[in-house]
């Protein structure tokens, strides 16, 4: 890799194992952090070369590929993507969606419309706005914010990872390392995998270090990293991605016709 590779990631607990040692394995990486939705915008503008972006933005992107074998996903409850609701799913008439999310926002709308047959009014929830005083029937929170939230005014707390798995029988992929067309990963391609393995081996240390700042129990954080979040992107995860893409495309939330699977191939890289 002859030039610096600009890489953007999310600074949530669940991303720590992927980025903890990434600069060590790929010294020419310039690593920066932003919210998932902002990373997607940065990648689309060409401000970064690789981004850990919401998977729905991968579908929307202009010919992105992705680093194979690595994702942020779940095979059931995910604990960090929660729809808090005053009423059952079928009675939701208005919902606030965390602006930090795009994949989870699309997943919420898919579940409401395709599984429960309702089409509620959708409102944005600004990233820094409190969720306690909303007047909508439901509110979607993601990431560390969702893990800390209680929202006692909302009777129901639906885990969207569990909802998806119960409905489809498939894993759900929330984010992946998307690569802009023409970008040469060089030796960084292997570095992403080495960083992932090293990060997962250090999950206990990461949990111990991060728990206090998040106001969470270290043991809970360790179980979250080691048994809840799935960092592999195998055939089952790819099938879940394809199912999500089909449903999102039906609702106009993603372009139709894309395969949804375009793994990075160095032989297709153009010079930049």
Domains and their CATH numbers in the chain: 5-75+172-251 (3.40.190.10), 81-168 (3.40.190.10)
CA distances from 257 to 230, 248, 254 (A): 27, 11, 9
- Per-residue pLDDT of 83-121, as tens digits, reads 999 999 999 999 999 887 789 999 999 999 999 999 999
CA distances from 195 to 66, 72, 154 (A): 16, 14, 39
pLDDT score of 64 more than 70: yes
Which range is most confident: 66-75, 122-131, 258-267?
66-75
> Which of the four pLDDT bands, split at 50, 70 and 90, describes residue 264?
low
Three-state DSSP class for 257? coil
Give the pLDDT of residue 234.
95
Average pLDDT of 172-198? Answer: 93
Mean pLDDT check: name the lowest of 28-32, 226-230, 264-268: 264-268
Residue 112 DSSP one-character state: I
Q: Is the pLDDT of residue 265 over 90?
A: no
Confidence of residue 248 (pLDDT cuts 50, 70, 90): very high
148 falls in which pLDDT band (50, 70, 90)? confident
Which residues are paired to 85 by β-bridges? 138, 156
Residue whose token pair is 């297709």: 268
Q: Looking at the predicted structure, is the pLDDT value of residue 144 above 80?
A: yes
Integer-rounded Cα Rg, in Å, for the chain is 18
What's the pTM?
A: 0.91
Q: Is the dihedral of CA 15, 21, 25, 28 positive or negative?
A: positive
Task: Give residue for tokens 């395969």.
Answer: 259
pLDDT of residue 59: 94
CA dist., res. 81 & res. 98, Å (int): 10
Tokens of 31: 């690593």
């Amino acid at each position: 890799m002859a030039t610096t590779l600009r890489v953007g990631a999310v600074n949530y607990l669940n991303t720590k194992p992927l980025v903890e040692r990434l600069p060590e394995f790929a010294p020419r990486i310039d690593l920066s952090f932003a919210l998932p939705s902002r990373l997607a915008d940065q990648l689309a503008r060409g401000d970064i070369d690789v981004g850990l972006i919401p998977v729905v933005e991968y579908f929307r992107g202009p010919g992105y590929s992705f680093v194979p074998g690595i994702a942020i996903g779940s095979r059931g409850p995910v604990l960090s993507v929660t729809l808090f609701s005053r009423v059952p799913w079928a009675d939701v008439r208005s919902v606030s969606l965390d602006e930090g999310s795009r994949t989870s926002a699309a997943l919420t709308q898919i579940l409401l419309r395709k599984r429960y047959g309702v089409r509620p009014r959708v409102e944005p929830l600004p990233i820094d706005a409190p969720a306690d005083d909303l007047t909508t029937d439901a509110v979607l929170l993601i990431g560390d914010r969702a893990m800390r939230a209680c929202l006692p005014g909302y009777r129901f707390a639906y885990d969207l990872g569990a909802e998806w798995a119960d409905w489809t029988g498939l894993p759900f992929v929330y984010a992946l390392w998307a690569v802009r067309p023409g970008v040469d990963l060089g030796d960084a391609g292997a570095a992403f995998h080495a960083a992932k393995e090293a990060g997962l081996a250090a999950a206990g240390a990461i949990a111990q270090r991060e728990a206090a700042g998040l106001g969470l129990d270290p043991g809970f954080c360790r179980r979250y990293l080691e048994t809840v979040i799935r960092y592999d992107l195998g055939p089952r995860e790819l099938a879940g991605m394809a199912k999500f893409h089909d449903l999102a495309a039906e609702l106009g939330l993603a372009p139709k016709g894309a395969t949804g699977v375009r793994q990075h191939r160095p032989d297709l890289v153009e010079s930049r």
